[in-house]
A and B are shown apart, each in its own frame.
Chain A
Amino acid sequence: QSVLTQPPSVSAAPGQKVTISCSGGRYNIGNHYVAWYQQFPGTAPKLLMYGNDKRPSGVPDRFSGSKFGTSATLDITGLQPGDEADYYCGTWDSSLSAGVFGGGTKVTVL
């Protein structure tokens, strides 16, 4: 059971938009920045978003992040077949003094 809650899967047609939610609590999302990771099968996670809404160099602006209260969202617009992957949110939890992740969301391009 992950500390952060994500939907198991989302899907949309190419060119459309998907939104992935990440729900937490006061001591994690409510008190810390959120990051998002993209993971393709058999590979390590890759940082996709940090500081709630900042993209590392090389990440297309089709990816955007936001946070409100104890929840965060990742939007992917102009969905492409190459976006099919698992996406994880993560942050720190100051009550647990530990890193925490969501359960992951599989994005499917129809």
Chain B
Amino acid sequence: QVTLKESGPVLVKPTETLTLTCTVSGFSLSNARMGVSWIRQPPGKALEWLAHIFSTDEKSSNRSLRSRLSISRDTSRGQVVLTLAYLDPMDTGTYYCARKMDTDAFYPDWGQGTLVVVSS
């Protein structure tokens, strides 16, 4: 059974750096053609795609956030890490990690999400 679980701080201060971890099970990050994305959702708003790390370790990220955002993985630990720097209250929301095949355009499996509040 495939599962993804996000973890990280709930409350962070403006200008600080957020680090979130997605721990996966039921599949391997070193499996050919399997990657993980981060997607967020501000309260009451739409889904916003943030970044994806491919099975090849190639990365892609949202252009509007690229200067503040990075994604990495530790295949031995089954973890994908998202960092977002210079936080602003507008970064408040639920952050999801989700799995997809590298060549697919859909996410069959999602984590439960983790709420992040940016406030002083």
Contact = CB atoms under 8 A, between A and B. Distances in A.
A97 B112 contact: no
Contacts of A37: 47, 107
Interface residues of B, number: 21
B61 A91 contact: no
Interface in A62-103: 88, 90-92, 96-103
A32 B46 contact: no
A45 B113 CA distance: 10
Q: For B49, B52, B104, B106, which residue has the most chain A Cβ atoms within 10 angstroms?
A: B106
B111 interface: yes
Nearest to B111: A44
A56 B49 CA distance: 22
A99 B37 contact: yes
Contacts of B108: 47, 50, 56
Interface of B: 37, 39, 46-49, 52, 60-63, 96, 104-108, 110-113
